[in-house]
Amino acid sequence: MSDSKTKQTVDVLLEENRKFVPSKNFQAQAFYNNDSVYKDADSNYEEYWAQWAKKLDWISPWEKILEWKAPYAKWFIKGKLNACYNCVDRHVKNGKGSKTALVWEGEPTNDQGKPKDVLTITYDDVYLAVNKLANVYKSLGIKKGDRIAIYMPMIPEAIYAMLAAARIGAIHTVVFGGFSVDSLKGRINDAQAKLLITADGGFRRGKIIPLKSTCDEAVLDCPSIENVVVVKRCDNSIEMKSNRDYWYHDLVTNVDDFCPPEEMDSEDILFILYTSGTTGKPKGIIHTTGGYMTSVLATSKMVFDLTDDDIFWCTADVGWITGHSYIVYGPMANGVTQVIYEGTPDYPEKNRFWKIIERHKASVFYTAPTAIRAFMKWGVQWIDNIDLSSLKLLGTVGEPINPEAWIWYHKEIGKEKIPIVDTWWQTETGSIMISPLPGLTATKPGSATRPLPGIKAVVLNETGEELTEGGGYLAITRPWPSMLRGIYGDDQRFKDTYWSKWDGTYFPGDGANKDKEGYFWLLGRVDDVMNVAGHNIGTMEVESALVDHSSVAEAAVVGITDEIKGQAIAAFVILKEEISAEESLESELKEHVAKKIGAIARPKIIIFTPELPKTRSGKIMRRLLRDVAEGRALGDVTTLADPNVIQALKQKYEDK
Ligand code: WT7
């Protein structure tokens, strides 16, 4: 079908304002297909979650389901378990050792466009790998409670690195492989990690990302790091520092094949994952063991409708919470088969994802709206002649999906036959909170529909009154098992950020609209956090990176609408007295930010200005900067100290 014809159909489908109901077949086989589950879960949510928790293997049972003294929750008190055991050992013990756990595809392809590296990895294989690596960790002096930083490409060893840490009760903190030296350094130092595990490099869009050299630079300023373990992936030349750096493949040959899984308390920390906030410093979000494992096991099952025959593909990187919850812990706790891909969707051609679905017969595909918008732009010719008939369910995560992209996904990938689950959640929530249940929910394009069973989410106004309809702030009014347990080393920030807006109610920082049928429409962040291609980046983080440059005196950063990425970054920069605003400086500053934080934070536009619009009390009015950067008419300017500043800025922007 041509793109223009697709566009017409999109308009028709949207005009009808219709709901999309799962097919009779899907409903019949779905995990949940009776609406009573919402009411049942609601009548006793603690018991509802306890029923899910029972689907995990516990070393000793809990004595009490929940202890809730806002904002502190404890779930499954005194219960003992091991997350790695639940993701690996128990499947092997249950006779599923020969089942494929991971089908991994590396990025490089041969002359015929076929992937050079494909590995089929069984649960037995994973079992051996995590046991060995756990023993390697121990041999390097890692003990329960120590932190291990993981900075890896999307290769199986990244998953082993996480599970092996969980096996011995070490706390992992995964740093996305696209982050820069400074970002890696900041996270390692905040977590005081003793060990860093990385690879020589990773393949991305046909190039080698030199991960090890980034580590070398970072570790110079990370006194807590004692050793660096390096996986050989790209065979690029790297430096190995003696007595500090070791090859993964050497270390694993010298250890035992078995390492007993550590007995962990339900509330022992499983991992720390950093996410951006409204200050320059990312927050180390803490997740614990029993509650987190319960929620990810449950939501993987109910939202993705996973069965023993499914082949699940979540396109996220393990560096993000999506990779933690819906590659490593949720699907593996369910013992399913997954597809893992190392590279980008457009390498060597823009049909790579569809080829992967066809090749490995993926049945559930979970990706981000930004990717879908890119696919739309590339056009449907990339899907022609590809067999996508293995698919039974589609999902999205990371940002609101615009109805056009939803319809495109439904038509072109789902062939108008299969459900789409738009899943709302956060690093902090640990698991999906608002989403359709695919066998039950009539979906509306662009709406994440309603809170999952057991989850109580509402829309509140500023003073905390619940709105039955209309726009306000999203809030979660009841504890849930995988809720964050704090911010590592900063309890005050934990309270201030999430629990101070309304007493005892979790404030996620998102705006939401509830329609007259009770459907939730997520509206994006209400604070100074941007969402670029589904990833949070704080305005302050980018501003700090800019003022770190020797030419910059002051900077203000805003998120602006971007066709593909949802949001892009616009920076308003005041240069130091003696510096002139040359074009080369613009690209230099963009590069500087990418180097300080990572390529995802590279500003799309930089506007030099002699002054910034401020209120009389000196607060930068970002709202007006957004108006300028988006080319809109200026909003209310009456509270400005000097309204001329913004007029001049607008003029300058339009002349550019
Ligand atoms: C923020 C959380 C959840 C894993 C990926 C991002 C936005 C996420 C949706 C959605 C509308 C969404 C929110 C949220 N968000 N999913 N389906 N619809 N907005 O995790 O980096 O912690 O970001 O992403 O604004 O607060 P994260």
Mean pLDDT of 149-175: 98
Class of domain 545-655: alpha beta
- The dihedrals phi and psi of 102, each to the nearest 5 degrees, come to -130, 135
CB of 446 closer than 6 angstroms to any ligand 1 atom: no
399 Cα: distance to centroid of ligand 1 (angstroms): 5
| Residue 8 pLDDT > 90 | no
Q: How far is residue 367's CA from residue 319's CA, in Å, rounded to a whole number? A: 15
The pick from 531, 541, 565 for probing ligand 1's pocket by mutation, whose C-beta has the most ligand atoms within 8 angstroms, reads: 531
The pick from 300, 425, 432 for probing ligand 1's pocket by mutation, whose C-beta has the most ligand atoms within 8 angstroms, reads: 425
For residue 10, name the pLDDT band (cuts at 50, 70, 90): low
| Residue 486 pLDDT > 80 | yes
Mean pLDDT of 578-596: 93
Task: Tell me how far CA of residue 42 lies from CA of 99, 421, 456, in angstroms.
Answer: 36, 21, 8
CB of 290 closer than 6 angstroms to any ligand 1 atom: no
CB of 511 closer than 6 angstroms to any ligand 1 atom: no
Task: Give pLDDT tens digits for 560-585.
Answer: 999 999 999 999 999 988 888 888 99
CB of 426 closer than 6 angstroms to any ligand 1 atom: yes
369 Cα: distance to centroid of ligand 1 (angstroms): 11
Q: Atom 23 in ligand 1: which residue has the minimum CA distance?
A: 426
∠ CA(394), CA(398), CA(401), 5° rounding?
A: 65
Q: Where are the domains of the chain?
A: 36-492, 545-655
∠ CA(234), CA(239), CA(243), 5° rounding?
A: 120
Give the pLDDT confidence score for residue 656 in this predicted structure. 75
Give the pLDDT confidence score for residue 116 in this predicted structure. 97
17 burial level (CB within 10 Å; 0-12, 13-18, 19+): exposed
| Residue 425 pLDDT > 50 | yes
Cis geometry, peptide bond prior to residue 260 (ω within 30 degrees of 0): no
Q: Atom 8 in ligand 1: which residue has the minimum CA distance?
A: 398
**Token digits of residue 230:** 């390096």
Percentage of the chain lying above the pLDDT 70 cut: 97
Q: How far is residue 166's CA from residue 640's CA, in Å, rounded to a whole number? A: 53
| Residue 16 pLDDT > 70 | no
Q: How far is residue 527's CA from residue 496's CA, in Å, rounded to a whole number? A: 13
Mean pLDDT of 364-387: 95
Give the pLDDT confidence score for residue 2 in this predicted structure. 44
| Residue 278 pLDDT > 90 | no
Q: Which residues contact 496 (CB under 8 A, 6 or more apart)?
A: none
Q: Are 545 and 592 in contact (CB under 8 A)?
A: yes
**Which atom of ligand 1 is closest in space to residue 276's alpha carbon?**
21
CB of 315 closer than 6 angstroms to any ligand 1 atom: no
**Which atom of ligand 1 is closest in space to residue 536's alpha carbon?**
21
Whole-prediction pTM = 0.93
Mean pLDDT of 206-233: 98
CB of 524 closer than 6 angstroms to any ligand 1 atom: yes
Residue with tokens 């492989």: 177
531 Cα: distance to centroid of ligand 1 (angstroms): 8
Q: Atom 27 in ligand 1: which residue has the minimum CA distance?
A: 426
Closest by CA to 555, choosing from 155, 280, 144, is 280
The DSSP secondary structure of 159-206, one letter per residue, reads HHHHHHHHHHTPEEEE--TTB-HHHHHHHHHHHT-SEEEEES-EEETT
Q: Are 531 and 600 in contact (CB under 8 A)?
A: no
CB of 513 closer than 6 angstroms to any ligand 1 atom: no
Q: Characterise 533 by phi-psi region: left (phi > 0), alpha (psi -120 to 50), beta (else).
A: left
Mean pLDDT of the chain: 94
654 Cα: distance to centroid of ligand 1 (angstroms): 33
CB of 506 closer than 6 angstroms to any ligand 1 atom: no
CB of 424 closer than 6 angstroms to any ligand 1 atom: yes
| 461, 464, 468, 470: CA torsion to nearest 10 | 10
Q: Are strands 393-397 and 364-367 parallel, antiparallel or unpaired?
A: parallel
Q: How far is residue 448's CA from residue 295's CA, in Å, rounded to a whole number? A: 18
| Residue 13 pLDDT > 80 | no
**Which atom of ligand 1 is closest in space to residue 322's alpha carbon?**
4
The DSSP secondary structure of 49-66, one letter per residue, reads HHHHHTTS--SB--SEEE
For residue 1, name the pLDDT band (cuts at 50, 70, 90): very low
Closest by CA to 448, choosing from 432, 426, 459, 462, is 432
CB of 522 closer than 6 angstroms to any ligand 1 atom: yes
Q: Atom 19 in ligand 1: which residue has the minimum CA distance?
A: 399
The DSSP secondary structure of 329-391, one letter per residue, reads IHHHHTT-EEEEE-S-TTSSSTTHHHHHHHHHT-SEEEE-HHHHHHHHHH-GGGTTT---TT-
Task: Give pLDDT tens digits for 296-325.
Answer: 999 999 999 999 999 999 999 999 999 999
Q: Domain 36-492, what architecture? A: 3-Layer(aba) Sandwich (3.40)
